[in-house]
Structure 1
Amino acid sequence: MNNTGIISLVIIIVNFIVSYKGLKDRAFFDRYSFVVERILLFREYWRLITSGFLHVSWQHLIFNMISLLMFSFLLEADLGSWQFLLLYFGSLLGGDLLSLFIHRHNGDYSSVGASGAICGVIFASIALFPGMGVSLLGLIPVPGWLYGVVFLLYSIYGIKSRNHNIGHDAHLGGALAGMTIAIVMEPQAMFANFATIIAIAVPAVFFMYVIITKPHVLLVDNFFYKQHHVFGDIDQKYVFDRANRQKELDAILEKIHKKGMHSLTKAEKEKLERYSQHF
Structure 2
Amino acid sequence: MIYDREYFNRAPKKSAREFFGNMGAVKFLILANIAFFLLDLIIRNFTGSDVLARYFALSLANLSDGKVWTLFTYSLLHEGFLHIGVNCLVLYFAGSALELKVGAARTLFIYAASVLGGAVIFLLSDLIGHESLLIGASGGAIGLLSAFLMMSKNEVMTFIIFVFPVRIRAWTMLKFMSAFEFFGFIFFELAPFSRGGIGFSAHLGGIAAGCLCAVLMSENRSEFFKISNFKFPKKRSMGMASDYKFKVDISSEENLRAEVDRILDKVNRYGFYSLTDEEKEILSEANKRM
Q: Aligned equivalents of 2:129 and 2:60: distance in 1?
A: 7
Equivalent residue for 2:87, pick from 64, 83, 87: 64
Is the 1:124–1:179 contact (alpha carbons within 8 Å) kept by the matching residues of 2? Answer: yes
Equivalent residue for 1:154, pick from 173, 180, 195: 180
Equivalent residue for 1:35, pick from 41, 59, 66: 59
Partner of 1:257: none
1:46 maps to amino acid: W
Deviations 1:97-151 (A, max 9, x none): 1211221366742111111111211111111112152431565143333433343
| Residue 18 (structure 2) pairs with residue 18 (structure 1) | no
Percent identity over the alignment?
Answer: 21
Q: Which secondary structure state, in structure 1, belongs to the residue aligned with residue 149 of structure 2?
A: helix
Q: Aligned equivalents of 2:60 and 2:75: distance in 1?
A: 14
Q: Aligned equivalents of 1:46 and 1:34: distance in 2?
A: 9
Partner of 1:9: 27
Equivalent residue for 1:75, pick from 98, 102, 115: 98
Mark the CA change 1:132 to 1:187 in structure 2 (over 3 Å): closer, same or farther: farther
In terms of Rg, which structure is larger?
Answer: 2
Q: Aligned equivalents of 1:81 and 1:106: distance in 2?
A: 37
| Residue 205 (structure 2) pairs with residue 178 (structure 1) | no
Q: Aligned equivalents of 1:185 and 1:53: distance in 2?
A: 26
Mark the CA change 1:31 to 1:110 in structure 2 (over 3 Å): closer, same or farther: same
Matches within 5 A, 1:203-214: none
Q: Aligned equivalents of 1:108 and 1:27: distance in 2?
A: 20
Partner of 1:142: 167
| Residue 120 (structure 2) pairs with residue 93 (structure 1) | no
2:150 maps to amino acid: A
Mark the CA change 1:21 to 1:194 in structure 2 (over 3 Å): closer, same or farther: farther
Q: Which secondary structure state, in structure 2, belongs to the residue aligned with residue 135 of structure 1?
A: strand
Query: CA offset at residue 4 of structure 1?
Result: 7.5
Deviation larger for 92-101 or 21-30: 21-30
1:47 maps to amino acid: T
Is the 1:119–1:171 contact (alpha carbons within 8 Å) kept by the matching residues of 2? Answer: yes
Mark the CA change 1:194 to 1:158 in structure 2 (over 3 Å): closer, same or farther: same
Question: Which structure is higher in helix share?
Answer: 1
Q: Aligned equivalents of 2:113 and 2:205: distance in 1?
A: 10
* Structure 2: 5+ residue stretches without partners: 1-20, 45-49, 190-194, 229-290
Q: Which secondary structure state, in structure 2, belongs to the residue aligned with residue 34 of structure 1?
A: coil
Mark the CA change 1:29 to 1:172 in structure 2 (over 3 Å): closer, same or farther: same
Is the 1:52–1:115 contact (alpha carbons within 8 Å) kept by the matching residues of 2? Answer: yes
Deviations 1:142-200 (A, max 9, x none): 3333433343233223323146443210111111111111111114376255359xxxx
Q: Which secondary structure state, in structure 2, belongs to the residue aligned with residue 104 of structure 1?
A: helix
Deviation larger for 48-57 or 144-153: 144-153
Is the 2:215–2:224 contact (alpha carbons within 8 Å) kept by the matching residues of 1? Answer: no
2:61 maps to amino acid: E
Partner of 1:242: none
Output the aligned Cα RMSD. 2.7
Deviation larger for 98-107 or 59-68: 98-107
Partner of 1:168: 200
Query: CA offset at residue 33 of structure 1?
Result: 0.9
Relative to the length of structure 1, the TM-score reads 0.62
Q: Aligned equivalents of 2:156 and 2:219: distance in 1?
A: 19
Q: Aligned equivalents of 2:23 and 2:218: distance in 1?
A: 19
Is the 2:59–2:132 contact (alpha carbons within 8 Å) kept by the matching residues of 1? Answer: yes
Is the 1:4–1:77 contact (alpha carbons within 8 Å) kept by the matching residues of 2? Answer: no
Q: Which secondary structure state, in structure 1, belongs to the residue aligned with residue 39 of structure 2?
A: helix
1:149 maps to amino acid: K
Q: Which secondary structure state, in structure 1, belongs to the residue aligned with residue 159 of structure 2?
A: strand
Q: Aligned equivalents of 1:161 and 1:148: distance in 2?
A: 21
2:200 maps to amino acid: H
Q: Between Structure 1 and Structure 2, how many residues are aligned?
A: 194
Relative to the length of structure 2, the TM-score reads 0.59
Q: Aligned equivalents of 2:221 and 2:94: distance in 1?
A: 17
Moved over 6 A (4+): none
